[in-house]
Structure 1
Amino acid sequence: MRFGFTEDQERFRADVRKTLRSVEVQAAAAAATGAFGVEPDARPLYRLLGELGLLTVHWPVEYGGRGRSLTDAAIVAEELVRAGVPDTFHVNTVQIVGQFLLMAGSEEQKQRYLPPIARGESFASVLYTEPDAGSDLGGLRAVAEADGDGYRITGTKVFSLKTRFVDLGLCAARTTPGTGKYQGISLFLVDMRAPGVTVSMVPGIGDEHFHRVDLDAVAVPGANLLGPRDEGWPLLNEALAIERTGLDYHLKAERWLDAALEALVEGEPEAVSGGLLEQIGRWHGALAADHVLAWEVITGIAADRIDQVATAVAKYHSSELAQSIAVWAADIPSPEQRADRTGATVTLESAYREAPGLTLSAGTSEVMLQIMAASFDSIGQGD
């Protein structure tokens, strides 16, 4: 990016923004937005976005995309969030599982799974995290045992989002146990309606619900092995780096700060002190820096340069910033605004409940710091 966009990119952004501000899209987005612990079904909204060709603009045309650049896809992602579109389906289905299929899927897998995703007719979730392994995928215990031409997967996955609505799960499981912490891991595309799959809700305070997925000898065809057998860890490493652009967390932070300012203006703007104005200025400065970090990562990925350290920095900074803004903004609405349940107040309450998970998903802040520290140690040792 280098701090600017081309004229074509700006025209594209304007067209996308105009489409997303239509009455039809805005009504569908409002109906899909959770509040007060209630999570609506966002699939009708995504079917509409699929009809408008806005879900997978950077995918090849033969898979349902529009053949545009990754930069254009990031522009769409920005405008989706700014238009009030809940982004979890897009992040999980398109940016993670869809990207995995593009990166490592067979031609048959791409032809089968990608076009329905592009049309907003099929949705996916990620089945990595386990109760005892947490964010350390090297500690996963789910096992995929060979069964004729396919496999049977047994294990438990936790903390996946939108799982009760999805059709497909990208599941990490051990195909060769006992070969080492990060060896013998394979990736599978699991039919979430298959016998042996049980999805239950994990109690929480967020408007989006986490789920537990129990897999009891679930039959998976050999054709649903994604990438080479036992080579899941290198693929996961590369995909996680692509996932950690920080853009989605940045957009949440931006939206939450805007809601805080809206609450201030609607409340008692004359009571805004110099100290509060200074803090708002600091937040805007941090957001500007955060935006540059995210787009530097996106620009690198678009040029086939995946920098593990840069992605760790972007993910750490953006998720910590979003969480900090949410905590700071929680006390801004006045008692009267809280009683009236204004739009800004509802957004900030939801943000406060969602924020703790941001520093955990896609790798905890501690893991990001470890990646950075390892890089500094390597530089210090002259490697």
Structure 2
Amino acid sequence: MRFGFTEDQQRFRADVRKTLRSAQVRNAAAQATGADGVEPDARPLYRLLGERGLLAVHWPVEYGGQGRPLTDAAIVAEELVRAGVPDTLHVNTIQIVGQFLLMAGDAEQKRRHLPALARGESFASVLYTEPDAGSDLGALRTVAAPDGDGYRITGTKVFSLKTRFVDLGLCAARTSPDAGKYQGISLFLIDLHAPGVTVSVIPGIGDEHFHQIQLDAVHVPGENLIGARDEGWPLLNEALTIERTGLDYFLKAEHWLQAALDSLIDRDPDSPHVDHVEQIGRWKGALAADHALAWEVLTGIQADRVDPVAAAVAKYHSSELAQSIAAWAVDIPSPEQRADRTGPARILNSAYREAPGLTLSAGTSEVMLQIMAAAFDSLAHQEN
């Protein structure tokens, strides 16, 4: 369990903060931040961050990184959010797809894709969820049929963020449709600019837009198959586990609580917290627990220990906490503050609309509870 940072980590954090405080980065971050349902293109900001080497610091140098530990990448992720950088492209491209490719891809796949992702020249997203499958990925229907030395993938994926801005999709599909529910599944990298790919926006209330991705016999070269054919289920579980560190949800919750505190201070600078002291203390304590849970998962991954139960605990706690803070904080701003589209009220309004999806993405809270319950049940049987 980690209860503090080393001197090297503290120096590294200070260097990252200094870089992110530059006027060029701050201006680019402001232009990339969405509001009131308008979703700007954040890629210019990420190209700027890529030029400064901040997107994938833990990747090997040969793949565009700095060869630093995964825990240093978590420090960068924390500082990006605290500097006002919209995090979705970083989470999807670097923390999920890139990290999975680093763990499970072959040498040629890494060489071909990782450097461009690290430079902010290419972006990726996850294509798992389907209209009738939801969180039960064993029910997915997308099919990858053999086609020469590659495959033709047909199916529909939904609830993918930023997809109209990305280049690659990490897609789960059935390569042996007649196999069992959790057999015959494979993972592919799909070029989202290829013929047969149609991306459309799913109407919603959030500032970031969900998308539907229609795959109509999209040709995928055999070299884009990740791992062995039909052996995607274990890889899929590993991919979901590294997605569930809870750090990104913790950072959202921290950001939203700070916006609520800023709003309280603006309302009453002399005694801003009088009516909310107890609840703020509870939120702060829960956030401290959240941070510890996320870093326990991260340090485990750094040591090549992928613990799906610890990840489920971290994901459940952080997403539920972020949702609760958003629901509480939306009523903090005064009517006058709500009229200001540039202040904390804008952040809290956006948070209230985004928060419901946090307990669904990367596996619903119910699925996380099932993972925990199964582990406790197994432990109880071992003790008996």
Length-normalised TM-score, structure 2: 0.98
Alignment of 1:367 with 2:367, yes or no, is yes
Alignment of 1:257 with 2:252, yes or no, is no
Aligned to 2:267: 267
Q: How many angstroms does 1:59 deviate by?
A: 0.2
Alignment of 1:25 with 2:25, yes or no, is yes
Distance 1:352 1:39 in 2: 16
Aligned to 1:164: 164
Q: How many angstroms does 1:271 deviate by?
A: 6.9
SS at match of 1:382: helix
Aligned CA distance change for structure 1 residues 273 and 301 (closer, same or farther; 3 Å) = closer
SS at match of 2:198: strand
Q: For 1:241-283, what per-residue CA distance to the aligned partner results, in whole angstroms no more than 9, with x for missing partners?
A: 1111100000000000000000011113567565511101111
Aligned to 1:379: 379
Distance 1:22 1:46 in 2: 14
Aligned to 1:328: 328
SS at match of 1:211: strand
Q: How many angstroms does 1:58 deviate by?
A: 0.3
Residues 304-313 or 124-133, more deviating: 304-313
SS at match of 2:287: helix
Aligned to 1:232: 232
Aligned to 1:179: 179
Q: For 1:276-299, what per-residue CA distance to the aligned partner results, in whole angstroms no more than 9, with x for missing partners?
A: 111011111111111111111111
Aligned to 2:283: 283
Aligned to 1:93: 93
Residue type of the alignment partner of 1:304: D
Residue type of the alignment partner of 2:40: P
Residues 339-348 or 310-319, more deviating: 339-348
Residue type of the alignment partner of 2:260: A
Aligned positions of 1:335-350 closer than 5 A: 335-350=335-350
Residue type of the alignment partner of 2:55: L
Distance 1:104 1:290 in 2: 28
Aligned to 2:8: 8
Q: When the two structures are aligned, how many residues end up with a matched partner?
A: 383
Distance 1:20 1:237 in 2: 34
Residue type of the alignment partner of 2:219: A
Aligned to 1:46: 46
Distance 1:107 1:29 in 2: 34
Q: For 1:159-202, what per-residue CA distance to the aligned partner results, in whole angstroms no more than 9, with x for missing partners?
A: 00000011111110000012111100001111101110000000
SS at match of 2:199: strand
Residue type of the alignment partner of 1:240: L
Assess if the C-alpha contact under 8 Å between 2:265 and 2:272 holds in 1.
no
Q: How many angstroms does 1:208 deviate by?
A: 0.3
Q: How many angstroms does 1:97 deviate by?
A: 0.8
Residue type of the alignment partner of 2:290: D
Residues 355-364 or 235-244, more deviating: 235-244
Q: How many angstroms does 1:368 deviate by?
A: 0.2
SS at match of 1:11: helix
Distance 1:225 1:257 in 2: 42
Aligned to 1:118: 118
Assess if the C-alpha contact under 8 Å between 2:63 and 2:111 holds in 1.
yes
Q: How many angstroms does 1:340 deviate by?
A: 2.3
Q: How many angstroms does 1:341 deviate by?
A: 2.3
Q: How many angstroms does 1:42 deviate by?
A: 0.2
Alignment of 1:209 with 2:204, yes or no, is no
Aligned to 2:318: 318
Query: Unaligned 5+ residue runs, structure 2?
Result: none
Aligned to 2:303: 303
Residue type of the alignment partner of 1:60: P
Residue type of the alignment partner of 1:286: A
Q: For 1:9-61, what per-residue CA distance to the aligned partner results, in whole angstroms no more than 9, with x for missing partners?
A: 10000000110111110000000000010000000000000000000000000
SS at match of 2:350: helix
Distance 1:273 1:265 in 2: 8
Alignment of 1:246 with 2:262, yes or no, is no
Distance 1:342 1:221 in 2: 47
Aligned to 2:146: 146
SS at match of 2:339: helix
Residues 320-329 or 236-245, more deviating: 236-245
Assess if the C-alpha contact under 8 Å between 2:340 and 2:346 holds in 1.
no
Percent of aligned pairs with the same amino acid: 80
Residue type of the alignment partner of 2:282: R
SS at match of 1:381: helix
Length-normalised TM-score, structure 1: 0.98
Q: For 1:199-220, what per-residue CA distance to the aligned partner results, in whole angstroms no more than 9, with x for missing partners?
A: 0000000000000000000011
Distance 1:301 1:34 in 2: 32
SS at match of 1:155: strand
